[in-house]
Structure formats: structure tokens, C-alpha cells
Amino acid sequence: MSVLDVRNLTVEFGQRGGSKLRAVDDMSFALRAGQTLALVGESGSGKSTVVRALAQLVKRTSGEILLDGAPAGRRGKALRGYRHRVQLVFQDPFASLNPMHTVRHHLIRPLQLRPHHPRGDDLEAAVHELLLSVNLTPPDEIARKHPHELSGGQRQRVAIARALATDPDVLLADEPVSMLDVSIRLEILNLLDRLKQDRNLAMLYVTHDLATARHFSSEIMVMYRGEIVEHGPSDEVILRPSHPYTQILAGAAPDPTVSRQALTTARRKRQQARATRDAERREVTVDASGCRFRSRCPFAMDICATHPPDLPVAAGHLARCWLLSSEAEPAGAGTEIGQPRRQAGR
């Protein structure tokens, strides 16, 4: 059962000179209770804009957001009601907490926004409960502290507790661990994972780290320049990427298990491929129509000038690439598709 349904979401930003920048282009997906959907992509691909549009921090140009089947309120009381149920954890815990306020203050404010909110001792108890739910102990002591007295991991826990204060159904986590130290990233991710299960949250996990995306989500969406190029079960997408972009992403992630010799060969190959592509790229000017990835795509062909449809790879696994279409027989390149990763990706 999907909690949050996103249909044809489009976000445009005005630019100098009148033309519009389309940051998010016609995206549709659904978040389900108790499940995590990962949104991966390079910087500038529009991941954060999606999150902001879902939290209604930026206005969507068109498209619909349905919360439990009902259209999301866009202003006033309806918007506030929506925000109670859809909460956001920001990337930078150093910036997302107010340095002037104590932890208690950060948690009490959202608690007091609830209708019939607890008061007095009940309020304190609610704060303690929130702190305990994110493993911040002892709660008394933590509640009295200011953000600067906490480590990055503790701050992010406070930010998570704050997001939980309104008892949301949907949690949008925008790169929740990228600013944290490696050794504590997993604790935070495990915490989010546990909370998701305990509270039956529908979670959107935005990241550029494919490995954690695979481990902490059931489905992965890969975003490239504002559109979803591949969407499917996480193992499918990572282990058998179908879109050339996903293949490049998967191939680019460091993999300590590969031998050094394999690395060197892979590197040589990449460098050659890059050299020829660079030469070609100078000729091609990318226009708005057609596949956005084609200027970087190792398998680009004529048909790519036409915008590709979503094509099925396997059950629940879609990729937006002409290579998967029977209409387009690529010259020699098609054989690589469908084979798991590296050969093509690296």
C-alpha cells in the first residue's frame, strides 16, 4: 500500500534570460509503508529538488502528490497537516540545528505543533521518549545541551528525533550521512532502518552512495538530469544495471575486492573510451529532445535523438534506454547490455 504517490512531478526554476531550467522532469513513483526507496544520482541531477518538492519547500510546476490517495494540501492548514505527516532530515546536521537553542527546544517545538499536544511533565516525557528512540542517552543530559556540545552523529540523531516528533508517516532523508564520519554512518543508517520498521515509515533515502543504497533500501531509482533513468529492486539495479548510466555509476564505485591488475586494465579501457568520446563530444550539441545521457553514453546511436520510453528489464525493473527496445538494434553494442556491470560500465 503506497503512502505517498508522486505522479508526473515537474519542477522548473526561472533563469536569467527567461528560459526555464527543468530540474525535475515528469517523475512518478510511490513510497510504501515500512519500505525504503533510494534515490541515487550524481550531484546536480535533481535529487535534492525532488525532496524539497515532496516536502513542499519548493513549488512544483506540475504534477500531483497524493498522500494516502488524497491530494496533498498546498497551502494553509492543509499544507501544515501534510507537513506533519511528511518529515525531512537534512544533509548537514551542523547547519540544520539552531545553535542558539537547546536540544529540548528543538524537540518541543514540533511536539507543540501537534493538535492536543502534551503539556508539562507529559511534554518532558515525550522529549525523553524521542531521545531514547534515537539512542541518545541519558536523555536528561542531552536535552539540556546545545548543538555545539554534540558530535556530528549525535546532532544527526537529534535531527532525526525532531523529524519523528510530529509522528510522520513519511520520512525524507536527504543524504543523511554524507556529512558524517565513516565510522558512525552505519549507526545512523541502522537507526533509520530500525525506526522505519518500528514505526512503519515510508522512507525516501537520497544518496550518491550506491553501496548503502543497496543495503538499506528495497528499491532504487537512478536519476540523471532530472529524470529517472532506471528503477527497480535494489539488487537488480546494482548487480544487473541496464541503463548505461547506472552501469557507469556502479562501475565507478570503489571496489576493494578487485585485484590491482584488473584495476589497471579497467582504467586503461576507460581512458581510451574517454578519449574517443571526448573527441566526438565536441561535435555534438545536446538539444532538449532525445536521451539526455547520449552525449556521455558509450552506446549512443541515431535513435537516441528521440526521447526513450521506460522499457521493462524484468519484473518491476524499468530502464529508460533504447538499448532495451527491439526496435533499435544497436551496432555491436547491444550485446553488452544485460550482462552484469563491469565490462560495460568500466
The reply to whether 253 sits near another protein by the rule CB under 8 A is yes
Q: Which residue has the cell 498546498?
A: 74
Nearer to another protein by Cβ, of 166 and 212: the residue is 212
Is 316 an interacting residue with respect to another protein (CB under 8 A)? no
- Interface residue with another protein, options 50, 170, 173, 249 (CB under 8 A): 249
User: What are residue 232's DSSP bridge partners?
Assistant: 220
Contact with another protein (CB under 8 A) among 183, 261, 289, 326: 183
The CA-atom distances, in angstroms, between 342 and each of 164, 218, 345, 346 are 40, 22, 5, 5
Residues 193-232 that bind another protein (CB under 8 A): 193, 197, 208-212, 214-215, 217-218
Q: Does 43 bind another protein (CB under 8 A)?
A: yes
Beta bridge partners of 65: 6
The whole-angstrom separation of Cα 344 and Cα 48 is: 29
- Measured from the Cβ of residue 58, the count of other Cβ atoms closer than 10 Å reads 18
Q: CA-CA distance, 160 to 196, in Å (whole number)?
A: 12
Q: Is 116 exposed, middle or buried (0-12, 13-18, 19+ CB in 10 A)?
A: exposed
The DSSP code for 57 is: S
Interacting residues of 296 by C-beta distance below 8 A, sequence separation 6+: 245, 248, 277, 281
Stretch that binds another protein, among 22-30, 141-149, 246-254, 318-326 (CB under 8 A): 246-254
- Interface mask (CB under 8 A) for another protein, residues 272-301, using x and -? --x---x-----------------------
Considering the complex, state which of residue 126 and residue 213 has its C-beta at the smaller distance from another protein.
213
Using CB under 8 A as the binding criterion, the count of chain residues that bind another protein stands at 51
The least CB distance from residue 119 to another protein, in Å, is: 35
Of 117 and 296, the one with the shorter C-beta distance to another protein is: 296
CA angle 215, 227, 253 (to 5 degrees): 40
Contact flag: residue 317 with another protein (CB under 8 A): no
Contact positions vs another protein (CB under 8 A) = 34-36, 42-43, 151, 153, 181-187, 189-190, 193, 197, 208-212, 214-215, 217-218, 235, 238-240, 248-258, 260, 263, 267, 270-271, 274, 278, 340-341
